[in-house]
Amino acid sequence: MKVAVGCDHAGFMLKKDVLEVLQELGHEIVDCGTWSDKSVDYPDFGRAVAEQVVKEQVDFGIVMCGTGIGISIAANKVPGIRAALCHDTFSARMSRAHNNANVLAMGSRVIGPGLARDIIRTFLTTEFDGGRHALRVAKLEQ
């Protein structure tokens, strides 16, 4: 699979681990920045990843900021994006199974790299359940 990754300066703390786990899983990566801990604005990077997803340049997006909140809000402003802020593996699994989330958001000041890696593995290996959930997801798009 192809995965776009984006973060602000706070999310940059998690970036190395995120890229490593994606490489371990054999995924192709589109790196949308940022590339240092120099202060930047999370909406720019949430949008960059979201656009990669809606233009179908990638299968999924992963975004990080300090809390994961700002960058998930930014990604969700782009029509077609279902960004899920997940800090546990249950939420990560359900965001795929029930919500067909196409962007995973995490906060680098909330969780550590070990949990972030597990969340990514769970998110990327869980299929959408479809059925009644497909009707609800369709309503989101309306």
Task: Using the minimum distance from each CB to ligand RB5, give the nearer residue, 24 or 35.
Answer: 35
Distance CA(15)–CA(42), nearest Å, equals 14
* Interaction site with ligand RB5 (CB under 6 A): 8, 10, 42, 65-67, 69-70
Q: At what angle do helices 113-125 and 89-97 cross, to 10 degrees?
A: 20
Residue 98 among the catalytic residues: yes
Closest residue by beta carbon to ligand RB5 = 70
Task: Using the minimum distance from each CB to ligand RB5, give the nearer residue, 14 or 53.
Answer: 14
Least CB distance to ligand RB5 at residue 136 (A): 27
* Tokens at 27, concatenated: 């995924």
Options 7, 32, 65, 86, the catalytic residue: 65
Task: Using the minimum distance from each CB to ligand RB5, give the nearer residue, 23 or 36.
Answer: 36
What single letter denotes the amino acid at residue 140?
Answer: L
Q: How does DSSP assign 100-122, residue by residue?
A: --SEEEEETTTS-HHHHHHHHHH
- Catalytically active residues are 65, 98
